[in-house]
């Protein structure tokens, strides 16, 4: 059992994050709705997608059912911010380490920054496969249990729609 699930609000966020990803994957496969973006919280998630409420509701309910039936691969999304954050963190740490080693206690020279960048770039590129693993272990929980989609509200904006999906466990 994941230790993160022992903290109730983190467990709720991880489960909602999995449902958010699954909903986006279902929408993308059915309607080719273009760009989407989401943000999960303990009460559900917000989805920015230019599709009507009915389609979002249908996709969220289907995603919930599919996750509950064991399709855990729906919880991992290639466009998740966790992927970018993981690679950026590791590249930044590598650059910081290089600057520390090269400059010691002195003020860094211009070429120290250059070498730090040269080291950071391959670290960023080669660490990309770690993002989905971090999603799997830390930021999502595909075992959503008895999570229910409670309410879907949609709001029209100048550039499309945003949808608030409330859940309850």
- All structural domains of the chain, each given as residue ranges with its CATH number in brackets, are 3-76+140-168 (3.30.980.10), 82-132 (no CATH)
pLDDT band at 1 (very low <50, low <70, confident <90, very high): low
With 70 as the cut, is the pLDDT of residue 98 above it?
yes
Q: What are phi and psi of 163, to 5 degrees?
A: -125, 135
Q: What is the pLDDT of residues 126-136, one digit of tens each?
A: 999 999 999 99
In 32-139, alpha helices (H): 53-68, 81-103, 110-126, 130-134
Query: Which residues contact residue 66 at a Cβ distance below 8 angstroms, ignoring those fewer than 6 apart?
Result: 22, 26, 74
Share the mean pLDDT of the chain.
94
**Tell me, what's the pLDDT at 5?**
86
**What's the average model confidence in pLDDT over 76-83?**
96
CA angle, corner 80, sides to 167 and 43, nearest 5?
15
- The order of strands in the sheet holding 36-41 is 36-41, 44-49, 160-168, 148-157
Give the whole-angstrom CA distance, residue 61 versus residue 16: 13
Percent of the chain with pLDDT over 70: 99
With 70 as the cut, is the pLDDT of residue 96 above it?
yes
Query: Which residues contact residue 116 at a Cβ distance below 8 angstroms, ignoring those fewer than 6 apart?
Result: 94, 95, 96, 98, 99, 102
**Tell me, what's the pLDDT at 106?**
87
Q: What is the pLDDT of residues 52-73, one digit of tens each?
A: 999 999 999 999 999 999 999 9
**Tell me, what's the pLDDT at 2?**
76
| Mean pLDDT lowest among 1-15, 78-92, 144-158 | 1-15
Query: Which residues contact residue 32 at a Cβ distance below 8 angstroms, ignoring those fewer than 6 apart?
Result: none
**What's the average model confidence in pLDDT over 81-88?**
97
pLDDT band at 24 (very low <50, low <70, confident <90, very high): very high
């Amino acid at each position: 059992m994941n230790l993160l699930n022992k903290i109730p609000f983190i467990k709720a966020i991880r489960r909602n994050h999995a449902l958010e990803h699954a909903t986006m994957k279902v929408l993308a496969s059915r309607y080719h709705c273009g760009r989407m973006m989401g943000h999960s919280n303990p009460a559900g998630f917000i989805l920015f997608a230019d599709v009507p409420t009915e389609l979002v509701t249908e996709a969220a309910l289907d995603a919930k059912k599919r996750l509950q039936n064991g399709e855990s691969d729906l919880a991992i999304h290639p466009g998740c911010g966790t992927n970018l954050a993981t690679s950026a963190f590791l590249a930044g740490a590598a650059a910081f380490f290089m600057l520390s080693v090269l400059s010691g206690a002195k003020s860094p020279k211009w070429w120290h920054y250059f070498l730090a960048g040269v080291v950071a770039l391959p670290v960023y590129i080669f660490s990309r496969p770690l993002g989905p693993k971090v999603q799997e272990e830390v930021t999502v929980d595909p075992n959503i249990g008895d999570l229910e989609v409670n309410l879907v509200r949609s709001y029209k904006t100048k550039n499309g729609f945003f949808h608030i999906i409330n859940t309850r466990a």
